[in-house]
Amino acid sequence: MALIVHKYGGTSMGSTERIRNVAKRVAKWARAGHQMVVVPSAMSGETNRLLALAKELAPSKTTDAYGRELDMLAATGEQASSALLAIALQAEGLESVSYAGWQVPIRTDSAYTKARIASIDDTRVRVELVAGKVVIVTGFQGLDELGNITTLGRGGSDTSAVAVAAAMKADECLIYTDVDGVYTTDPRVVPEARRLHTVSFEEMLEMASMGSKVLQIRSVEFAGKYKVKLRVLSSFTPWDIDINIEAASGTLITFEEDQHMEQAIISGIAFSREEAKISVLGVPDKPGIAYQILGAVADANIDVDVIIQNISRDGKTDFSFTVNRTDYAKTVDLLKDKVLPSLGAQEVVGDTKICKVSIVGIGMRSHVGVASKMFRVLSEEGINIQMISTSEIKTSVVIDEKYMELAVRALHKAFELEQVPV
């Protein structure tokens, strides 16, 4: 008998018919002898519906001003879906009980709409499990020190599930979603993309941050920190398949290096069209310039991704970085108005028609020549590389966005990702 956490996304909870299927799946696991904790998202569309009502009432204000009330509002979506799932499980003949985040409680800080989990008291949940019940815990939400409801931000239910699994030392946390695992790249771009049976925590982190969108990045960090055995799988496979087959499906996220000994050097190719690049040209090369430029950007709450500074020539250097495309104009204005004059730099230039393509693989650590192979492949396709950034297990390039699909397909083929590694 194991302690298992299931997490179901909004699409999986999207109708009473689907909730019934979730209940049947959970019932199957419970009847196989497992202690079950289930973390559901709100029914798909519900969170957007609620936030749209708030937007209608306060069109001119930022969400920050209403953070507390937005969380109060949005948290109802998961509370309702959790109660519905408990009812569906009872209709299946199982004893079941739902707990809102504040009832567990899942304690968080007070950063409304993007709170972070501080601690989880699992006493009540354990008591219910020992009493033989399936316990539903609302995803996405918690309770701050002052007794206010908080939410964890978009995708926060993944984090809730992993955090509950960590707090309870669950044997496995299964994230049921609308894809059946993590792929070598997006199958819509490369039809030959292959589902990975396992992917390392570090690779998953790099894939998630690159927009693979299978799991919220914070949930993966959490799983890594607390060594939660995490599996991503589809809730749209029939619920009545053999439980052993289901338990081995999807993609397992692993944390031990030795499991990767026989794996391919590269696990996948991530890409993102959501960034823009900005360069500050002719910056006097003296200590503190990076801080002068990026400090101002950070103060304006703009996230920076790739950062590049090359060697200087004639005492001047060029400083480049990428930001989210929606922050592009704001960032350029900020640099021109506030930074350029005091910095004595030449000018600010930029481009929004770019994309970032990354090869990710834990094997890169011990294999030289992976990055150079990537550059060769792109060169053979006639694709000019605008920026390069590398980490231990990832090499990213910024290129013209019109070449994105071409680059991803060529790299997928060159690294033979469609083949199962021997």
Binding residues for a second copy (CB under 8 A): 16, 19-20, 23, 50, 53-54, 56-58, 60-61, 65-66, 68-70, 72-73, 75-77, 79-80, 82-84, 86-88, 90-91, 96-98, 100, 102-103, 124, 147-149
Nearest Cα to Cα of residue 103 among 89, 117, 123: 123
Nearer to a second copy, 121 or 347 (CB): 121
Nearer to a second copy, 42 or 228 (CB): 42
Q: From CA 172, how far away is CA 165, in angstroms rounded?
A: 7
Q: Give the Å distances, CA to CA, from 312 to 23, 284, 315, 343, 399.
A: 62, 9, 6, 16, 23
Q: Closest distance between a second copy and the C-beta of residue 90, in Å? A: 6
Nearer to a second copy, 56 or 314 (CB): 56
Q: Closest distance between a second copy and the C-beta of residue 151, in Å? A: 12
Q: Closest distance between a second copy and the C-beta of residue 57, in Å? A: 4
Q: Closest distance between a second copy and the C-beta of residue 59, in Å? A: 8
Nearest Cα to Cα of residue 177 among 157, 204, 151, 163: 157
φ and ψ of 262, to 5 deg = -100, 15
Nearer to a second copy, 45 or 315 (CB): 45
Nearer to a second copy, 48 or 386 (CB): 48
With H, G, I as helix, E, B as strand and everything else as coil, classify residue 128.
Answer: helix
Q: Closest distance between a second copy and the C-beta of residue 386, in Å? A: 43
Both structure tokens of 46: 């519900």
Q: Within a 10 A sphere around the Cβ of 103, how many other Cβ atoms?
A: 15
Nearer to a second copy, 2 or 127 (CB): 127
Q: From CA 341, how far away is CA 356, in angstroms rounded?
A: 30
What DSSP designation does 420 have? Answer: P
Q: Closest distance between a second copy and the C-beta of residue 23, in Å? A: 8
Both structure tokens of 122: 């699992």
